């Protein structure tokens, strides 16, 4: 399953990827008109959604993220390739409408809806273009039966790349120029950027879960919980500190607040019960702190993205933000204890 945050970050990653390589795509542009702007148009189209997506909260649903992205791309669509790209993402909006999270079947449906809409919108669909690449990727995804989104996206990438390489055989103008279709290359670059988020998020969650299982297996978690519970009058404070340290370390190591929280959240009821407090009173400050802590990790997607924009190294960026993030953790924890 992927959350709205993951889908949001994936689309942003796709936008960054195409904009970083738009010149490469522009150079391939020979069909339908050799005006050398396909990469630029696709970059501007997908890029139109970035600001609105970045403004969305981490708690957004996949339906909300998809709708925001599709709406912004439709308004910002440039050129034929940009319009088709926006229609492909409109398929995500339609298929994921009202959904909180999405599984592999939902992603397949989103791809299919997008391809269907794109073909209908073009009066005379030409094979050997972005349409062909998206369609074949969608068809292979639907046929593969994968239940994991990251594995499904690998199928999308493999099938799409194969279809892209075959485009010169479908369009003589491409074969004559010795290039693949520019629009097809562009959508594959966008999909590649999205896949980095899908794959890395799943890997991080697995790593965090293994970390949690290992720590629990050797008795480390139980020992810390028992020690905190045995301290009279300070059990709550000590327990909170213990869980915060575990979550923050896990978030920094994995670069993901979600991975850290999902891995250790099953331990929270026992920890809260041992000191006589509601699980919510422990879960809320811990979850907020895990989310903040990811911004102190050099491998976090948000840090890497900001690093690319600012020209600072991830480590240099973290050095500047750590004091602010520490204050944010303190404020979040204090507010949670007061209001909960």
The pLDDT confidence band at residue 312, using thresholds 50, 70 and 90, is confident
Is residue 332 within 8 A of residue 276, CB to CB? The reply is no
User: Radius of gyration over alpha carbons of the chain, in Å?
Assistant: 23
Q: How far apart are CA 87 and CA 340, in angstroms?
A: 44
Write down the number of H helices and E strands in the chain.
18, 0
For residues 266 and 180, which has the higher predicted lDDT (pLDDT)? 180
The lowest-confidence range among 2-11, 130-139, 278-287, 305-314 is 305-314
Q: What is the pLDDT of residue 86?
A: 96
Beta carbons within 10 angstroms of residue 311's beta carbon: 8
The predicted structure's pLDDT at residue 340: 61
Across 91-97, average pLDDT: 95
pLDDT tops 80 at residue 59: yes
Q: Which two tokens stand for residue 127?
A: 């094979």
- Residue 2: DSSP 8-state: B
pLDDT at 314 over 60: yes
How many angstroms separate the CA atoms of 69 and 88, rounded? 11
Percent of the chain with pLDDT strictly greater than 90: 44
Q: Whole-angstrom Cα distance, residue 205 to residue 220?
A: 20
Tokens of 282: 């422990």
Give the pLDDT of residue 57: 87
* pLDDT number for residue 42: 95
- How close are the terminal C-alpha atoms of the chain, in Å? 30
Is residue 99's pLDDT more than 70? yes
Q: How confident is the model at residue 238 (pLDDT cuts 50, 70, 90)?
A: confident
φ, ψ (nearest 5 deg) of residue 2: -120, 145
Peptide bond into 32 cis (omega under 30): yes
pLDDT for the residue 243: 78
Q: Report the pLDDT value the prediction gives residue 30, as an integer from 0 to 100.
A: 73
Predicted confidence band of residue 334 (pLDDT cuts 50, 70, 90):
confident
Handedness of CA 208, 214, 220, 222 (dihedral sign): positive
pLDDT of 221 reads 56
207 pLDDT above the threshold of 60: no
Confidence of residue 130 (pLDDT cuts 50, 70, 90): very high
| Whether pTM exceeds 0.75 | no
């Amino acid at each position: 399953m992927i959350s709205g945050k993951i889908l949001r970050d994936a689309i942003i990653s796709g936008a960054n990827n195409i904009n970083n390589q738009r010149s490469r795509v522009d150079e391939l542009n020979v069909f339908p008109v050799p005006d050398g702007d396909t990469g630029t148009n696709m970059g501007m189209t997908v890029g139109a959604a970035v600001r609105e997506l970045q403004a969305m909260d981490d708690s957004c649903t996949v339906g909300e993220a998809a709708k925001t992205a599709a709406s912004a791309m439709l308004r910002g669509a440039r050129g034929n390739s940009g319009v088709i790209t926006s229609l492909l993402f409109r398929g995500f909006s339609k298929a994921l409408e009202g959904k909180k999270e999405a599984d592999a079947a939902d992603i397949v449906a989103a791809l299919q809806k997008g391809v269907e809409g794109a073909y209908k919108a073009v009066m005379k669909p030409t094979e050997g273009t972005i349409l062909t690449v998206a369609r074949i990727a969608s068809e292979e995804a639907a046929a593969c039966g994968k239940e994991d989104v990251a594995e499904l996206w690998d199928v999308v990438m493999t099938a799409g790349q194969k279809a892209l390489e075959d485009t010169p055989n479908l369009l003589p103008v491409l074969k004559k120029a010795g290039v693949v279709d520019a629009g097809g290359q562009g959508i594959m670059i966008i999909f590649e950027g999205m896949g980095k988020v899908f794959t890395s998020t799943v890997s991080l969650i697995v790593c965090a879960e293994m970390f949690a299982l290992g720590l629990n297996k050797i008795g480390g978690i139980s020992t810390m919980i028992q020690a905190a519970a045995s301290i009279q009058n300070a059990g709550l404070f000590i327990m909170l500190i213990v869980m915060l340290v575990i979550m923050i370390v896990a978030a920094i190591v994995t670069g993901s607040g979600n991975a850290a929280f999902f891995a250790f959240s099953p331990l929270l009821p026992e920890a809260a019960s041992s000191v006589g407090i509601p699980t919510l009173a422990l879960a809320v400050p811990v979850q907020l702190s895990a989310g903040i802590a990811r911004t102190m990790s050099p491998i976090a997607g948000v840090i890497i993205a900001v690093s690319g924009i600012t020209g600072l190294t991830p480590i240099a960026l973290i050095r500047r933000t750590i004091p602010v993030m520490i204050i944010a953790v303190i404020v979040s924890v204090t507010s949670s204890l007061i209001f909960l």
